Chain A
């Protein structure tokens, strides 16, 4: 980590509504095109994940994820205030869980009822 610092505005809040995995994202910008509120901008360099320019305008609908042709390239992430609100309790054991916790339980792999999104 460089010791150099810049004069920067505070990070926008929420800061990471969507995160990109550069190893999967092909920079096709289909998410940029479909986002209802135009949160993302194409990266100046081709094939790179978009730049999230207006994160506070995201309404967390998931359109970018549904539109993405490369599953896993966009990781949808609720604001921390939402993550800390979503709590559940396992009935049999009384264990507490929450969205975004460290060491979460194994994923529930059952898909939703009906069709899946056309990618």
Chain B
């Protein structure tokens, strides 16, 4: 007996809530550094702050031991440019990212991960994560360096992506945080930032939170605060009955970390880029289908008759051998690999891929569906590496894919895994498990986030940001670790100079009133799921791929109506529902941020995959800029910032000089 229905049938009555209910009970926690979000970025930020002498509280809406988008593992670590085998410098790599995205990504975060990603990975190794082929299982393989026993992905010549056995990386860093005395508050949702005298735009002095098991209230007083929260996967598509299994961001990802900063008056960048992405929605379980992208990169794809789909290099030249799929193309210096929040890889850095005209060739009948991933066409080492190593360690693959599939009899030495059967155009990208998906995922779409400086400090004093979702133009697992580590030590250094935080009592009381609203409503009002569906409907209809002034304005009005009417009468039957209800209110705020930012960009932009019906001209040069946006009172304020603002005054003009000026602060 494991379901609620079975329990009811046996006992005739609903089981009582298993945890004590403590609505309104207030706990006060006072620390040097508060970390909002306990995923990989948050745990690394907490570790780093604690190592630099700060007292630290880590607040996580799930359980930090295995939570967060990176909590379920990792199989390859990008941007390890300073590993002993890398032939790509941090500057080369950063410039490749910026060039690929035409400047619409975060140069600061990109450079930091290139400089410190490898060091951060070595720290993971010291915490017990396997990052080398210590058992010599792959001795002699093309992708392995026999001296260091490191293994590489995507570009075996340039070796800046390290393959790792990261299925247990999250428990390892969680244990390290605990060992260092970090106070961990699990099942606690942060609902607002507290600012000096309760003023918007003022110094951040802490946050409020509510526990989703007991309902008790928290006031966190902190000298420095780091936002390391998740994205907003439930914003554009919400149908958990269908989509949860197919998503790379779990239900907790509701944009809370964005919403609290917006209300506090922090400035954000590229929020208009946040839109329908590929990794969440109505697809298949991640990596569960035959494909040739990301963790499946390099696998041979054959059609129903066993005819192989050709591979091409960055310039479209057909490749003759399997080995070439893992090398730079003819005349190409290096390739970037996949899964780093770069939505358009520039041709000079593009990774080898399946023939780009595959959809047309399927339509013509040249390739017959279904397609299959045929691992047997790879060398035994490569096959074992992709299925046995990478699919045993990547996020949501150790149990859901490796263990489940092998128990069911799948054998990569003998079997071909089928790709989804879909419309021809769906095969334009080899990430086949995400075929036909819709909806957004801030982590994957490299969407908007806090505008940060070279200390990863936000526009508000005392506030820092780290991780894939909170920093705009950012993306991968390793980056979350590395930016967390960097922000942690900067926050700790700042805390040493900061005055004692004094939360404003009126701000706390106002937040408390808001937080407990859903516990006092009639059961006849709306529940959180119904509201979430409605929010997703507004976002999909009024803020979809093609936007224009009137629908965006109407969408904002409708979101506001949801907030003022249905949102204000939301009910919650227990603390769990209360948490989900409050997340829905965050989603509304996140939706407003995206719509305001979308209204501000009065031009279509290919790099941002951003289209305005009312401004159809693509990429007019006068709109090649960032449009940071923040809330002042209840009105959004935008300003203009050059795409390379991070290399302009008050900063130095080179990446390395900026890094040297800032990286050692507090170190």
Contact = CB atoms under 8 A, between A and B. Distances in A.
Contacts of B576: 38, 54
A48 B65 CA distance: 23
Contacts of A60: 244-245, 285, 396, 400
A99 interface: yes
A91 B376 contact: yes
A17 B245 CA distance: 9
B63 A36 contact: yes
B392 A112 contact: yes
A23 interface: no
Contacts of B392: 112-114
B288 A86 contact: yes
Nearest to A5: B9
Q: Which of A13, A108, A117, A118 has the largest count of B CB atoms less than 10 A from its CB?
A: A108
B4 A19 contact: no
A52 B418 contact: no
A8 B404 contact: no
A41 interface: yes
Interface size on B, as a range, is 35 or more
Contacts of A58: 244-245
Given A82-B245, A82-B288, A61 B71 contact: yes
Contact of A36 (B2, B71, B410): B71
A115 B9 CA distance: 43
A34 B72 CA distance: 12
B5 A8 contact: yes
Interface size on A, as a range, is 35 or more
B483 interface: no
B291 to A, nearest CB: 12
A52 B3 contact: yes
Contacts of A115: 130, 165, 168
B605 interface: no
B66 A36 contact: yes
Interface string A69-80: 000000010110
Nearest to A77: B404
Interface string B138-173: 000000000000000000000000000101100100
Given A37-B250, A76-B400, A88-B418, 13 more contacts: A16-B2, A36-B68, A37-B252, A52-B2, A56-B240, A59-B247, A67-B66, A86-B285, A91-B374, A91-B414, A112-B393, A113-B388, A114-B137
Interface of A: 6, 8-9, 11-20, 22, 33-38, 41-44, 48-63, 65-67, 76, 78-79, 81-82, 85-92, 97, 99-101, 104-110, 112-115, 117-118
5 contacts: A6-B8, A6-B9, A16-B3, A57-B240, A113-B384
